[in-house]
Amino acid sequence: MSKKRYQIQSACPQCGCSFAQVLSKEELMKRYGDTPNIELECGECMLKFQADRESACPEWDAECRMNEEKA
């Protein structure tokens, strides 16, 4: 069974460069926990900013909602 991967996509509010990272669910939970906002760091200007989880990774957000419904 292969591990599901989630792609996080966002754009830096300061320099506008967009980036994406692909993480497993475990990595996501370890890095960002279960908060609605995730903290990202721009690779270009090193600005730390918060992104809305729903827009950065809709797939992950949907799965969290499914888990909530199950619980």
HSE toward the beta carbon, residue 54, CA cutoff 13 A: 2
> Is residue 40 within the footprint of Zn ion (CB under 5 A)?
no
12 belongs to the binding site for Zn ion (CB under 5 A): yes
Asked if 11 and 18 count as a contact pair (C-beta separation under 8 A), the reply is yes
Which residue among 20, 29, 45, 66 contacts Zn ion (CB under 5 A)?
45
Question: 39 or 44: whose CB is closer to Zn ion?
Answer: 44
Q: In angstroms, give the least distance from the CB of 45 to Zn ion.
A: 3
CA distances from 42 to 21, 25, 66 (A): 11, 21, 30
The two structure tokens encoding residue 25? 């669910």
Nearest distance from C-beta of residue 20 to Zn ion, angstroms: 14
> Which part of the chain contacts Zn ion (CB under 5 A), choosing from 1-9, 20-28, 42-50, 53-61?
42-50
